[in-house]
Structures are given as C-alpha cells and as structure tokens.
Amino acid sequence: MKKQLIIGTRSSPLALWQAEFTKAELSRHFPELDITLKLVKTTGDVLLDSPLSKIGDMGLFTKDIEKHLIAKEIDLAVHSLKDVPTSTPEGLIITSFTDREDTRDVIISKTGAKLLDLPQNAKVATSSLRRMSQLKSLRPDFEICDIRGNLNTRFKKFDEGGFDAMMLAYAGVHRLNFGDRISEILPHEIMLPAVGQGALGIETRVDDEQTREIVRILNHANTEYCCKAERALLRHLQGGCQIPIGAYASFRNGTLRLLAFVGSVDGTIGIRDEITRTGLISPDQAEEAGIALAEELLKQGADKILSEIRKTC
C-alpha cells in the first residue's frame, strides 16, 4: 500500500473544496496515508474573456491536470464531473464517482424573484448553452448575458453588474455556503442539468492499481450507474462541440430512468425524451441505455439541431 498520495486540482475555491473533501474522505478510510494537494492552473482558468462555447476545447478544466497525472507528478485528479470530457486520454480512467449532490440548477436574482416572475426582458447571466437554450425556450424575452470565472468571481460580477438574475448549479452554491442567495431551485421539468452535474470524478492512471484500489472506496454505485448513462448519451451525441444538452438519470432497485434534452441555442427548437430500463446489474447496461436514448433523440430530429450547431464550431 502506498504511503503518500498527491491530489491534482484547480485552485478555485470550489475546486479546493472538492479536493479537500476527497482528501478528508480518503484520510478517514486510510489514516496512515500522507495526502497533499498540487494546484494546477488550467486553460479554462486563464481564458476568461471568451464564452466557453467560442473557445471550443472540451477539456478546458481538465487537460492541464491530466498532463501532470500522465507524467506521474500527481497520483489522482479530482474534477467536477460535468467538466470532464466523455472520453479520457489514453492511460487514464475515471475510477470513482462520488455520492452525488442535488443535481438541479438555481436562480439567483437581485430581488429574490423566481424565474417566471422575473421582469420582461430580464438580463440573465450564464455561460452555459444548455441553460441558454432551455431559458429561451421558456422565456424568449430574456436577454442572456455571458458570465465567466469561478463561483466567487461570478457572484462578484453579478453583484456589481447590471444583471437581473444568474443561473448556477445548486451543488457549487451549496458547497461554498452561498445557499442564502438562492431565489429558486429549478425542477428538472423546467431545467435539465449538465451531464454529471453534482458528482465528482476521481481520475487515475489505468496502470496505477494501488491508487485505484485506494480511490475505489469513494465510488458510489448509484452515482456511477447514473453518470455513466448520462455520459454515454452525451458521448454518442456530442462530437466535440459545446452543445445544448441536458440529462438526468436516477437509479433505484435495478431500475434506471434517464431524461434528456437537446435544443437549439436560441431555444426555438427542443427535443426532450426519456427511457426506463429495469433489471440492470452492471454500469455497462446503464451506458447502453444512454446510447439507446441518444439514438431515439437523433431519430426525432436531434441530428438536424446538432448539425446546425456544429457548422459554427
């Protein structure tokens, strides 16, 4: 058994919370381990002047950390799973999916107003095409404003800027104790989350069996089923672009239910469907369900939506 572990992480407050959480959980199970953090500045942390959709790199928040992992300068990387591309670099693997936080999105508004009560032509801040598409579908009058940076930076920009509201993931808001700022938690019927939202993905080298054995203690089976279904759906649809896709899977007593949404950026076209599979006994079957739902969405016209979006990638 290893005596030391080095965790690679971004340096944002939320990333540090995630890394410290992972460190604490591993120390609880393996108190003899000496665990340290290595902070890595990623491309996504540096390029803050352009919308994520315009940068076009699917590994903005992970690639630089993965380089350290491949070089054996760290033993594991802790990521927000929603930031992790659906295909990991050769030699790396997501070994553990941690117990998932609430997956829903939230509205932060300056007056405390809920989403549907925001004024006509309200300025809503988000950097997510997924959120933009679903928001514009619900309220075409909204003016969507790009906002980038870590969570603390976004709150500062929001408070100092001319925005009416801002959309964020509940998980990050809750973890950094901004819960008192939430105006509304949005149900999945209104806003489907990003693939993997609320879960942490712990990435290791495939051939580092000692670290993988240690890290597996943090794997949450239900989360693994759900996230593998969502990631398989995204992998089957995506093709390397930032595109408006939302998904949410639940798994109980061998039954997986997966909801998904694909829409145009302007919200004028949207396709939403779901699939239920029973008797699942392996995560591979969850991935098969994700692929099946992706195929169904393509048959219903998602291929045309995605084709138009890819022309601008």
Residues annotated catalytic, as ranges: 83
Q: How far is CA 287 from CA 198, 258, 271, 272, 280, in A?
A: 19, 11, 20, 19, 11
Task: Return the biggest CA–CA distance within the chain.
Answer: 61
First to last CA, the chain: 46
Residues 6+ apart with CB under 8 A from 196: 80, 81, 82, 84, 227, 230, 231
Could you tell me the two tokens for 202?
């712990």
Give the gyration radius of the chain's Cα atoms: 19
**How many C-beta atoms lie closer than 10 Å to residue 79's C-beta?**
24
